[in-house]
Amino acid sequence: MRTPIDQTAYQVLVLDSITELCPEDRGQIIVCGSHGGQSAAGYALAVLPRIVIFNDAGVGKHGAGITALAQLETAGIIAATVGHDTARIGDGLDTWHSGRLSHLNTLAHRADFDVGDAVPAAIARSQQCAAWRLCRLDDNGNRFVMARRLTQTQADSERARFEALGHKQHYWIEVDDVPGPSQSEQ
């Protein structure tokens, strides 16, 4: 189930399973009912949302239920889990309505998330942090915004990825002063 929730200045996409991510979800805020394990990280890394919140699934042996947090941090993705005792596993709407944050990556800390926060409150506070956009100048002097509402780490990573393709265009990142939901303009 894919349920968009429109907040005042941003949109949250609620999914029962992280496997429901689509390429157009790049740069979005995702709240899902999936565990935060290694396989869940793979789905998120394939799409690169701005924020993703999972269920900690009781954390598990060797922290298996939260391993996605560290993996996503390396890609510049703000990631957190809710406690399995605060929201049903596999139920994205319960994660949104009832979930309380239990584990955070460093980027989530920097985005002003706190353990114990209700999911909507944490996301609302994080939206007050600066967002970044990736821009491109083509051979003819035309300026394009390629992606919006990224973390600085995500924007810089995307800049480096495009530069590595060897095209003659110039890429740069800048603070995104356009309010509204995350969006990609590629």
Same domain, 73 and 154: no
DSSP string covering 49-99: -SEEEEE-TT--GGGGGGHHHHHHHHTT-EEEEE-TTTS-TT-HHHHHHH-
Q: Is residue 184 part of a domain?
A: no
Q: Tell me which of 158 and 119 has the higher pLDDT.
A: 119
Same domain, 57 and 76: yes
Cα gap 89→120, rounded to integer Å: 18
User: For 161-174, what is each residue's pLDDT tens digit?
Assistant: 889 988 878 999 99
Q: Into how many domains does the chain fold?
A: 2
User: For 48-74, what is each residue's pLDDT tens digit?
Assistant: 998 999 999 999 999 999 999 999 998
| Domain boundary residue, one of 110, 126, 142 | 126
Same domain, 122 and 155: no
Q: At 93, which amino acid appears?
A: L
User: For 62-116, what is each residue's pLDDT tens digit?
Assistant: 999 999 999 999 888 999 999 999 999 999 999 999 999 999 999 898 888 999 9
Same domain, 30 and 108: yes
Give the domain range for residue 44.
Answer: 2-126
Backbone angles phi, psi at 33, to 5 degrees: -90, 0
Pick from 4-8, 129-133, 178-182: least confident: 178-182
